[in-house]
Amino acid sequence: MEKIIVSRSIPQPFKDQLEAIGQVEMWDESLIPMPRNQFLEAIKDATACLITLSEKIDSEVIKAAPKLKVIANMAVGFDNIDVPLVNSKGITVTNTPDVLTETTAELGFTLMLTVARRIVEAEKYVQNGEWQSWGPYLFAGKDLSNANVGIYGMGEIGKAFARRLKGFDTKIMYHNRSRNKDTEKALGALYVPFDTLLEHSDFIICTAPLTEETRNKFNAQAFEKMKNDAIFINIGRGAVVDEEALVYALQEGQIAACGLDVLREEPIDMAHPLLSMDNAVIVPHIGSASVTTRNRMIQLCVDNITLVLNNQYAKTPVNLK
């Protein structure tokens, strides 16, 4: 008998599909993660689990789960999972690439324009009854047109972001672990060394996953090199940024503003200095959050679990290169 753990509440039609293949134990909350000890208990006799990026899959989980065959992560990023360890036990790990690409790029774009045009500050100003008249420089922001935009991480989301830039007459630069000449041609993007990206971009968008190579990539030295009026957007992973260095850069005017969908610690500590800064816009990791995309992500997890439990290859296994 298969047993499938689902670590967040998902709509009944998806649960029904899983129930057709085995017994389902679902945590009935959608905003509160399953407590770790409950997860460890539930996973003991599980053969599959559908998890979110809040669940850390480490040696403690793997030790507790001798029957586990598949872990379906409802995210494209999988830094919450010790993949080499899990693979060494013959357990399949899957993620949700492609289905969330456009939605995540749209959120990045939304954040970029929101920060550039100071929309959050302006909206608060209206709500607070402070609006007295039209002013020549009232909430004057920064143009995207004709700007140099630097993309750090030219994977699928980086490319989708670059495609959207094409309508704004921007110059696109990118830095990535490897160069992709087809992308350069298709998107008119220029490959540059990381330092050049930092020094010449008016907007920098980070779409990079968290790896040992990208951890703390945006550190004090990086922010120091950026233009003083640069806007930094992060839709990749929080730990790609040294947040203390970011706070310092914003306070000291090394850069102008930031927009973050991801943070080192999620949810953010309410005492975090970024929360009291007008030039920092923070949203709660909602890059892929459209109803259609979230449905697709869950369906892909369900499909992957179904395939593996039927002794077939998963659609989107995570293969470490």
Binding site for ligand DGY (CB under 6 A): 75-77, 100, 287-288
Question: What is the distance between the alpha carbons of residues 250 and 228, in angstroms, rounded to a whole number?
Answer: 9
Spatial neighbors of 83 by CB under 8 A, at least 6 apart, are: 93, 318, 320
State the nearest-atom distance from the C-beta of 52 to ligand DGY, in Å: 8
Annotated catalytic residue, options 200, 237, 264, 294: 237
State the nearest-atom distance from the C-beta of 199 to ligand DGY, in Å: 28
The yes-or-no answer on residue 266 being catalytic is yes
Please write down the HEC assignment for all residues of 19-64: HCCCEEEECCCCCCCCCHHHHHHHHHHCCEEEECCCCCECHHHHHH
Q: What are the angstrom distances between the C-alpha of 6 and each of 21, 62, 63, 68, 97?
A: 14, 16, 19, 13, 19
| 77 vs 259, beta carbon nearer ligand DGY | 77
| 153 vs 287, beta carbon nearer ligand DGY | 287
Annotated catalytic residue, options 41, 244, 265, 266: 266
| 281 vs 300, beta carbon nearer ligand DGY | 300
Question: What is the distance between the alpha carbons of residues 34 and 51, in angstroms, rounded to a whole number?
Answer: 10
Does the bond joining 267 to the residue before it have cis omega, within 30 degrees of 0? yes
| 259 vs 287, beta carbon nearer ligand DGY | 287
State the nearest-atom distance from the C-beta of 288 to ligand DGY, in Å: 4
State the nearest-atom distance from the C-beta of 86 to ligand DGY, in Å: 17
The yes-or-no answer on residue 285 being catalytic is yes
| 76 vs 274, beta carbon nearer ligand DGY | 76
Annotated catalytic residue, options 8, 200, 285, 294: 285
State the nearest-atom distance from the C-beta of 89 to ligand DGY, in Å: 23
The yes-or-no answer on residue 237 being catalytic is yes
- Cβ neighbourhood burial of 64 (10 Å; 0-12, 13-18, 19+): middle
Tokens of 204: 């920098």
Query: What are residue 297's phi and psi, to 5 degrees?
Result: -65, -45
Catalytic residues: 237, 266, 285
